[in-house]
Amino acid sequence: MNDPHTTDPRAFLNDLMDAAIAAADPIQCVPPHLPDPPEGRTVVLGGGKASAAMARAVEDNWQGEISGLIVTRYGYAVGCDHIEIVEAAHPVPDRAGLEATERMVEMAHDLGPDDLCLALMSGGASSLLTMPAPGLTLEDKQAVNRALLQSGATISEMNCVRKHLSAIKGGRLARAIAPASLVTLMISDVPVDDPAVIGSGPTVPDTTTFAEARAVIEKYGIDPGDAARRFLDEAAEETPKPGDPVFAGAIETLVARPKASLEAAAEAARSAGVTPVILGDALEGESRAVAEEHAALARRIQDGDGPAQAPAVLLSGGETTVTIRGTGDGGPNTEYALALSIALDGRDGIWGLAVDTDGTDGSRDNAGGLVSPGTIERARTLGMDATALLANNDSYGYFEDAGGLVVTGPTFTNVNDFRAVLVLSSDR
């Protein structure tokens, strides 16, 4: 930024967001990792918010016949010629997802030793690929999902429970695919890029146990329902573990990850004359607590006591969580932005943006929120109590009225949260 006081901070932050999302575009990141065609059939199976776009990238670059079935979120379908795309509900599964998943498992069982299963997995597959374990119903899984989403549990903890209540997650789809060859391509949306956590790892080994799933339930005081609790207590059949023969020869590749998206945003910042400070691509914790830490660091930088000199931008990824205690609307990124607005209290020269890179934060139509020095004053002028709205988890209502909702629409990729806090010099 040649003149950081006059350059448009809103446009700058949007440019960084665009750079982060573009770095994870399936059209660019999938083709270099495609395997050679097999002697037999090639069947594409998978799920997640980016999976339909991944399937399109496969079709555009595949040599030979191909077929398959992909389950993505409503509104995230991308047209394919040979691979069937089904839309289903997220984050709470529905019957469309159940019926598609059941057909997917049937297709997996039909594969032979000369065939190839190309599995495409991204964030969101945990709810989109839903097939309750024997004795459980869709309603049981829906109830558990709702409870997990409101608990404040991390994504790794939630997926540990999901895997142990499923007939497809935690490597169980790989069991159905064997003896066919298996290649899994993944877009990571989880801390430390653990393949077993991405979409609850349907095609990769699982290291978690029933005991750990029960511990998550107890830790957060979750009521999973009688049927799910009995299933977890009985622990009849563990998920397939590393070394299981079903994974012999299986290949798993991360084609996009949060770190690369943050680095792309950092390069865009440098090109604009702003110093990037990458805080990490695997941040977890309560959204409001993380926002308070970032606000404090931003103030230190502006006061000349931080890790960089203004103009600088704090970049971070990962997945923060929200423990639902109120009745308002909003997701983790919008709640982060509200807490950041409160913590900064209109501080001159500091702006912030927080979005989910898939384009949907929580259950509403926004990707997240953008904070300017004037946001909280506009809210006060409208008679809004930002602290009360935060306590009610109503971050969507705050930005809807005060301004700052970030609406991108579906991005057809998913490398989880993207946060950027821009620090300019202040006249104070």
Q: Look at residues 216, 234, 256 and tell me which one is the last residue of a structural domain.
A: 256
Q: Provide the strand spans (E) within 195-349.
A: 251-256, 275-283, 312-318
How far apart CA 363 and CA 145 sit, in angstroms, is: 14
- CATH number for the domain spanning 318: value is 3.40.1480.10
Q: Provide the strand spans (E) within 286-406.
A: 312-318, 350-356, 368-371, 405-406
3 is a domain residue? no
Which H or E element spans position 396? helix 395-402
Same domain for 311 and 166 = no
Segment 188-214 shows an average pLDDT of 96
Q: CB–CB of 317/419 below 8 Å?
A: yes
Same domain for 267 and 250 = no
**Using alpha carbons only, what angle is made at residue 269 by residues 347 and 188, rounded to the nearest 5 degrees?**
100
Q: Is the pLDDT of residue 83 over 70?
A: yes
Segment 133-157 shows an average pLDDT of 94
Same domain for 294 and 205 = no
Which H or E element spans position 71? strand 67-73
How far apart CA 81 and CA 87 sit, in angstroms, is: 16
Q: Collect all residues with Cβ–Cβ distance below 8 Å to 15 and sequence separation of at least 6.
A: 268, 272
Is-above-0.85 flag for pTM?
yes
How far apart CA 296 and CA 329 sit, in angstroms, is: 26
Tokens linked to 140: 């049981």
Same domain for 269 and 213 = no
Same domain for 77 and 225 = yes
CB atoms within 10 A of CB 347: 17
Q: Collect all residues with Cβ–Cβ distance below 8 Å to 189 and sequence separation of at least 6.
A: 122, 123, 124, 198, 258, 319, 357, 358, 414, 415, 416
Residue 352, classed as helix, strand or coil, is strand
- CATH number for the domain spanning 119: value is 3.40.50.10180
Q: Is the pLDDT of residue 427 over 90?
A: no
Q: Collect all residues with Cβ–Cβ distance below 8 Å to 140 and sequence separation of at least 6.
A: 132, 165, 225, 227, 228
Q: Tens digits of per-residue pLDDT, 218-240? A: 999 999 999 999 999 999 899 99
CA quadruple 373, 376, 380, 382: dihedral sign: positive
Same domain for 201 and 55 = yes
Same domain for 159 and 82 = yes
Same domain for 177 and 94 = yes
Segment 125-136 shows an average pLDDT of 96
Percent of all residues in the chain with a pLDDT value above 90, rounded to a whole number? 95
Percent of all residues in the chain with a pLDDT value above 70, rounded to a whole number? 98
Residue 316, classed as helix, strand or coil, is strand
Same domain for 329 and 313 = yes
Q: Domain containing 297: what range? A: 9-22+259-423
Q: Collect all residues with Cβ–Cβ distance below 8 Å to 300 and sequence separation of at least 6.
A: 306
Segment 2-7 shows an average pLDDT of 50
The arrangement of strands across the sheet holding 312-318 comes to 275-283, 312-318, 417-423, 350-356, 368-371, 405-406
Same domain for 224 and 276 = no
Same domain for 135 and 77 = yes
Counting the structural domains of the chain, the total is 2
Q: Collect all residues with Cβ–Cβ distance below 8 Å to 27 and sequence separation of at least 6.
A: 53, 56, 57, 60
Q: Tens digits of per-residue pLDDT, 177-191? A: 999 999 999 999 998
Q: Is the pLDDT of residue 6 over 60?
A: no
